[in-house]
Amino acid sequence: MLLIEEQLELPESHRGTNVEYQRFDADDPAQLFSKMLTTRRAIVLDQIRRRSYELYEARGREDGHELEDWLRAQAGVTAARA
């Protein structure tokens, strides 16, 4: 069994935390597939988060539209990835 410890690309706010490194068995296809999906989901969620904040700022940082911003950002990111 080959165990791999990989340093993940994380935002600066997560550096030095216990999520910075991940161990997985490179011989286990299920673990590799799971890692790929987890990484991909994290990237998509980060894109949505960033776009949602851009929408918030574009509106003049007016509170009370968090869900609307998130859903608009999600739709935009999802459409761009399709």
Q: How many CB atoms lie within 10 A of CB 73?
A: 20
Over the stretch 48-64, which tens digit does the pLDDT of each residue have? 999 999 999 999 999 99
β-bridge partners, 6: 22
d(CA 27, CA 33): 11
More confident residue, 3 or 34: 34
pTM exceeds cut of 0.85: no
The string over 12-43, giving b where at least 16 C-beta atoms fall within 10 Å of a residue's C-beta and e elsewhere, is eeeeeeeeeeeebeeeeeeeeeebeeeeeeee
Give the pLDDT confidence of 9-45 residue by residue, as tens digits: 555 555 454 444 456 666 777 877 777 778 788 888 8
